[in-house]
Every structure is written in structure tokens, then in C-alpha cells.
């Protein structure tokens, strides 16, 4: 938004029409030019600034949570702590990859989500970090690797299956690595 504001200011500096002249004394072309006088430019700039500020502070549409279902998803995912990471895994018997754990915990509670983490990153509706609730999907973008997903547990913690040769574990969103990689929260346990 700062770049947009700089663009608007640069654009306005090219308008260097001085003062307005009474409309009765203007030709059609001069009348059009007079519309770009200093007061009009100022009003235009203030209007653009208002639009930019409104766009920067946009709020997300409401996304009412089904608290009971969300808690059940979080509980199911947490119950798998210690299970091995398994590429393509979607069951307690075989183990889980990151999206497999999310897929399994949601399906166990009657909620269909996509199987792959990239698609899970667009499931449900977006939720910002201060409004995350247990059962929300947390989405991360890992450099050189792609999307990674887990399930939010509450109190700044989430459960996930990190990578090969590890197990399902609980971690904190405030840890530097995860805080930096965090993209969004997705609420799939919603009240209809």
C-alpha cells in the first residue's frame, strides 16, 4: 500500500495546473484542465488515501465456528502424537504425512477436506492468528518444499507430522521458524 501511495503522489505531481478560472471565461479544453486544479487534486489524493487505508484494514467475512467439532478434530489429531511420518500416509496404522494427518482428523469427524496440503491451504474460510480456534488448519509455506499443514490445538500450539524420520508432534506457532513460515489459518469446522 505504501508503493500505491507513492504512485498516486508521483501521478499528482504531473498535474501542474495553477488556479481555477470562472467557467464562463473558459474554453472547453481549459474547463477540463481547470478540473485538475490544486483543490481538486487535493480532494482526489485524500479520496485515494481513504481507499488505500480502507483496503489495508479490510476485515475478513465472519466465519462462525462449530466449537464441538473443532475440538474433536484437534483431539483426534493430538491422539496421533508419536506416530511415524510416512509419505502419503493417512492412517494411524501406517503413519501420516502432514496433509494426511489433517485429512484423517477432519474425515474422522465428518468433514471432507482435500488430501494435499496445497489444496488444504484453500479449504474452508480464512482465519487470522488471533482468531484461531482448536480444529482450524494451520498453513505454512516452507522454502524449497511447498505448503505444510497442521491442526491448531489452542494456546498457540499446533500438531503436525513434520518430515521423514520424525513423528507427529506438538509445536508452538510462536517459534521463530513456524512464525516466519505461517501463511494462514483455515476454518473447516464451521457452523452452518
Active-site residue list: 98, 148, 160
Measured between alpha carbons, how far is 94 from 23 in angstroms, rounded to an integer?
81
What is the rounded end-to-end Cα distance, in angstroms, of the chain?
Answer: 35
Q: The C-alpha cell of 93 is what? A: 496404522
What crossing angle do the helices spanning 38-56 and 2-13 adopt, rounded to 10°?
170
Distance in angstroms (rounded) separating the CA atoms of residues 173 and 139: 11
Phi, psi of 147 (to 5 degrees): -80, 150
186 backbone dihedrals φ, ψ, rounded to 5° = -130, 125
18 CA to centre of own chain = 45
Amino acid at each position: 500500500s505504501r508503493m500505491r501511495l507513492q504512485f498516486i503522489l508521483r501521478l499528482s505531481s504531473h498535474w501542474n495546473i495553477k488556479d481555477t478560472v470562472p467557467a464562463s471565461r473558459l474554453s472547453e479544453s481549459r474547463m477540463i484542465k481547470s478540473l485538475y486544479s490544486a483543490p481538486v487534486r487535493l480532494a482526489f489524493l485524500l479520496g485515494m488515501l481513504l481507499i488505500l487505508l480502507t483496503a489495508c484494514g479490510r476485515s475478513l467475512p465472519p466465519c462462525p465456528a462449530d466449537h464441538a467439532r473443532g475440538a474433536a478434530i484437534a483431539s483426534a489429531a493430538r491422539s496421533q502424537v508419536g506416530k511415524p511420518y510416512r509419505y502419503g500416509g493417512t492412517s494411524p496404522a501406517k503413519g501420516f504425512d502432514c496433509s494426511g494427518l489433517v485429512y484423517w482428523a477432519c474425515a474422522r469427524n465428518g468433514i471432507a477436506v482435500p488430501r494435499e496440503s496445497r489444496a488444504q491451504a484453500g479449504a474452508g474460510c480464512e482465519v487470522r492468528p488471533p482468531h484461531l480456534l482448536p480444529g482450524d488448519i494451520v498453513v505454512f509455506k516452507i522454502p524449497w518444499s511447498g505448503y505444510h499443514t497442521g491442526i491448531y490445538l489452542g494456546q498457540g500450539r499446533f500438531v503436525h507430522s513434520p518430515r521423514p524420520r520424525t513423528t507427529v508432534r506438538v509445536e508452538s506457532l510462536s517459534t521463530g521458524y513456524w512464525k516466519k513460515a505461517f501463511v494462514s489459518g483455515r476454518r473447516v469446522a464451521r457452523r452452518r
